[in-house]
Amino acid sequence: MGNKQTIFTAQQLDSYQDCTYFTRKEILRLFDRYRDLAPQLVPLDYTCQPDVKLPYELIGSMPELKDNPFRQRIAEVFSDDGEGNMTLDDFLDMFSVMSEMAPRDLKAYYAFKIYDFNNDDFLCKSDLEKTLNKLTRNELTEDEVRMVCEKVIDESDLDNDGRLSLEDFQTMIVRAPDFLSTFHIRI
């Protein structure tokens, strides 16, 4: 089979398989995808761990992400520097979490981070408003947005502090029928 690949050492591939939900083939395919974004930047040899980062502009232009209203958040959450510039490791990490195989808890954790726009570890009203506006492309009136956000907090805020903590979020999302099937990017 494709034993001739020299991009990674066998050991590296094994480690990646241990750290992600991907098989060997998928990792190589992801690498190809990654490299396709900027062939001039990404070397074909990863055995010596080159320090390569792709800027967010490139990551966000992937077909998988480019129509996603939350693409910037996704990139920010998974990138090491928090600004959406991704190394291959971050890239693999991102798609591993978004893959079918990832468990609900892990997905919920990252979903929370994605919806937490201001990184304060709580989903407060402004986060919810941003989420909603992104979802509907600002089609709702302000009153409607406010009302929906109030409803959401009303429903899910278990400790009554006016914002959603990770715990609240998990309790809510774990029971959602659609979460697993929609929080998922096939690569």
Sketch the per residue contact string, 76 through 95, with other proteins: x for CB under 8 A, - otherwise.
Answer: ----x------x-xx-xx--
* Of 7 and 98, CB closest to other proteins: 98
Q: Is 151 in the site for other proteins (CB under 8 A)?
A: yes
What is the closest distance, in whole angstroms, from the C-beta atom of residue 43 to other proteins in the complex? 14
Q: How far is the CB of 63 from other proteins (least distance, A)?
A: 5
With H, G, I as helix, E, B as strand and everything else as coil, classify residue 33: helix
Tokens 């408003």 map to which residue?
A: 129
- Closest CB to other proteins among 76 and 93? 93
Q: Applying CB under 8 A, which of residues 3, 6, 160, 178 lies at the interface with other proteins? A: 178
Least Å distance, CB 84 to other proteins, is 14
Q: Which of 54, 59, 75, 128 binds other proteins (CB under 8 A)?
A: 128
Stretch that binds other proteins, among 30-38, 52-60, 173-181 (CB under 8 A): 173-181
Q: Does 66 bind other proteins (CB under 8 A)?
A: yes
> Alpha-carbon torsion 104, 109, 110, 112, what sign?
positive
Interatomic CA distance for residues 75 and 85, integer angstroms: 7
The token pair that represents 164 in the structure block = 């959603």
The DSSP result for 129-184, as a single string, is: HHHHHHHHTT-S-HHHHHHHHHHHHHHH-SS-SSSB-HHHHHHHHHT-SSHHHHS-
Residue in 10, 19, 44, 158 binding other proteins, rule: CB under 8 A = 19
Cα–Cα distance list, 173 to 34, 95, 137, 170 (Å): 30, 20, 23, 5
Q: Tell whether residue 132 is a contact of other proteins (CB under 8 A).
A: yes
